[in-house]
A and B are shown apart, each in its own frame.
Chain A
């Protein structure tokens, strides 16, 4: 279903703040960030197009199943392990970064790991649910939070406190050649499609991804806002001095007629929801990748009884998060984030190209017909499947 893809896209795009994308970009604002963002829009869009069109040929199958079609088992196992790590790392990192931020701003008197405890337990609960539940969860959270985010951004851009001259002044650095770390940071906005790696299993056989032009449109909108709005609020120089530049930007806005006066609280609550969602989804993907490493694993997109393995893997994730809380702080986080963003970009580029090559050989229609009768996927209720197929056939005729 189309909209679920876009929920995932919007979620990741909005979450970029927790992975220090603005910090990386803003630290290079006069040394290539502006041109890097333009490159990132192109690269990010192309990667997203490549990966989505590859996955769209195998509706009803996730990346593990697609890989198994063509590759020897040991390579599949290795690749799946890497993916599992990638998803685990990104989502846990976002969770840790947000926990530290929340603790600094909202509950400075409580110890950090106390907050981590409750957020982590919630992520365990969320990530062990079935893929279907997570998609419903994503739908409701994104639909509830996006209006708030848009409202804050609208409010932000309309405010007389924005120094547009500062934005123009920074935009003039467009002719400085791009840098690798800025491109990597910029492309992160476009990586919402990665969640399709597992969620592609839920797509119905006649799935077609429509409206992909929204990807560059929305992605570049978010990217430019992420970068330029803080500059508008904090100028070209002071913007670099804040640890959490977006939290600071939100704190600089006020709603003089709102029930809650400080936008900061709205911002924190929105990102609490987004981070929890992102981490739950990320851990869930990671769990599924890990479990798919066993060849005998048969995935279920919806279950009423949570498998024990989910709980165990999730608890281990949580344990690692708690342990790393004691090592990490804002400075190390930022360095790690910068390195990780670059690493991630290459892995994702490679994956997209690889998938495209892997799926290029078969035409779309063939793939579609195949996936229904294949060993992995099977239509749920036969009468239901039939009636639907015939209905679609009539519609086409």
Chain B
């Protein structure tokens, strides 16, 4: 039996198998350690077997915890559901020892959804694998363990579906994990930085997520999950830009709803990056862009502002960035107060004092809110950064400058690769195995 199980779970390091003998019997036992409550196993199987108070075959046939399993095809299936397989004299028994930690697992807090699953990964590696395994009950799931950090000795686990994963990506991921040299590894973000070639990247090329549904869905599409001990965030590779813009909920809603939401997010992305730059470019270089009525009302509201448009933009951006930072660092309950005080009162007062125009207040708030629409935090941080280069270009080159800046960003995005795979691409082949451009390479 053990041979067969080893074959079926070729690379899964958490499959545990024992061969034990006492005076009477020789038994084999197999289970997946991460899915099983091991104390239960030892209490119900190992100790009785060793103590020999009752003949072990009687125990198996009399105790309702054990049941016979004749169909060998169901072995993997049972094991993946947290059952322990015991083989005694050519008979296979199963015992339910599944460890249920659904009540203790933390709730999703970073990427919250309304109707999606609410359980996040756990900081304990075993618990996290348990959650993933229980949602992805397939014998094809394989895991490889690595140790990173010369002092922290952090356990890092690669999880993937070996029938679907792209071997090229897997090789890169293994190589990257083996070559990490650091003392202490303490967070997934740090790990993802180590796994990158270019540490000055503007955009994340891997997804850091706490959502299990994202991970299992990704795995079914051939992606690799990197889990580490001590962090409730997993890394998903390789990914595309569009996936960073998708919330998990999009898959649960009807096509039109999710299409609307996705396009809404892309519009928000465009606005949050370009609005301040466009404000400067239009106000200071090409006010004829707007229709005349709008131009006049902007001119009217700016009439009392004493300094050039870009200083006005910088004041407001500085204020809004402070507010965002403050509300992240403060405890939850004070956070909302800070936002109210800052956002409402400061904005209103600044406008009345003639420091900024009312249109600028609108621009800033739209920009800030649009930024929060982006579902993945690391992307939302990158997006917060890239508006500043655009503002600088807008100051010097006006409207064509902004357009060029956006174009440069597009080139940059297109030139990115996520673990050797295209990162920013509109139309993807359905499967990595389909033919694609650029496959014939020179040696």
Contact = CB atoms under 8 A, between A and B. Distances in A.
B441 interface: yes
A141 B413 CA distance: 12
Nearest to A297: B442
Contact of B414 (A140, A272, A298): A140
B399 interface: yes
Contact of B397 (A60, A118, A304, A377): A118
A249 interface: no
Contact of B427 (A3, A115, A262, A388): A3
Contacts of A203: 437, 440
A380 B414 contact: no
B400 interface: yes
Nearest to A3: B427
B440 A205 contact: yes
A380 B443 CA distance: 9
A107 B424 CA distance: 32
Interface in A370-397: 371-372, 376-381, 383-385, 387-388, 391-392
Nearest to B197: A304
A119 B288 CA distance: 22
A352 to B, nearest CB: 23
Nearest to A392: B435
B404 interface: yes
A380 B397 contact: no
A136 B425 contact: yes
Contacts of A130: 415
B439 A204 contact: yes
A126 B411 contact: yes
B401 A129 contact: no
A294 B422 CA distance: 29
B433 A384 contact: yes
B389 interface: no
A107 B398 contact: yes
B407 A204 contact: no
Interface in B281-340: 285-286, 288-292
Contacts of B197: 304
Given A115-B397, A261-B291, A304-B197, A384 B168 contact: yes
Contact of B437 (A4, A141, A276): A4
A320 interface: no
Nearest to B424: A136
Chain A contact patch, size range: 35 or more
Interface string B373-412: 0000000000000000000010001111101100110110
A280 B442 CA distance: 23
Contact of B426 (A118, A139, A377): A139
Given A276-B404, A383-B167, A372 B426 contact: no
B442 A376 contact: yes
Interface in B253-293: 285-286, 288-292
A203 B438 CA distance: 6
Contacts of B426: 136, 139-140, 143
A203 B285 CA distance: 44
Interface residues of B, number: 41
B174 interface: no
B285 A300 contact: no
B435 to A, nearest CB: 4
Contact of A133 (B286, B398, B415, B435): B415
Contact of A122 (B168, B408, B414, B417): B408
Main secondary structure of the interface of A (DSSP, over half): helix
A299 interface: yes
B259 to A, nearest CB: 16
A299 B441 CA distance: 8
A372 B435 CA distance: 14
A108 B403 CA distance: 17
Given A378-B440, A380-B439, A381-B167, A137 B400 contact: no
Most-contacted residue by chain B among A205, A276, A372 (CB, 10 A): A276
Nearest to A61: B440
A137 B399 contact: no
B58 interface: no
A262 B290 CA distance: 8
B70 interface: no
Contact of A381 (B168, B407, B422, B434): B168
Interface in A269-311: 269, 272-273, 276, 280, 298-302, 304
Given A136-B425, A384-B168, A60 B440 contact: yes
A106 interface: yes
A251 to B, nearest CB: 11
Interface in A117-141: 118-119, 122, 125-126, 129-137, 139-141
A1 B398 contact: no
B437 A106 contact: no
Contacts of B89: none
Contacts of B417: 302, 304
A96 to B, nearest CB: 15
A202 interface: yes
19 contacts: A107-B286, A118-B393, A129-B414, A134-B414, A135-B438, A136-B414, A141-B407, A203-B437, A203-B440, A204-B436, A204-B437, A280-B411, A298-B442, A300-B441, A301-B438, A301-B440, A378-B440, A388-B433, A388-B435
Interface of A: 1, 3-4, 59-60, 102, 106-107, 110, 114-115, 118-119, 122, 125-126, 129-137, 139-141, 143, 201-206, 259-262, 265, 269, 272-273, 276, 280, 298-302, 304, 371-372, 376-381, 383-385, 387-388, 391-392
Interface of B: 167-168, 197, 285-286, 288-292, 393, 397-401, 403-404, 407-408, 410-411, 414-415, 417, 422, 424-427, 433-443
Given A140-B426, A299-B442, 12 more contacts: A1-B435, A3-B427, A106-B286, A107-B285, A129-B415, A137-B414, A143-B426, A201-B440, A272-B407, A276-B407, A300-B441, A388-B434
**9 tightest A-B CB contacts, nearest first:** A60-B440, A136-B414, A377-B440, A133-B415, A261-B291, A202-B438, A202-B437, A301-B438, A204-B435
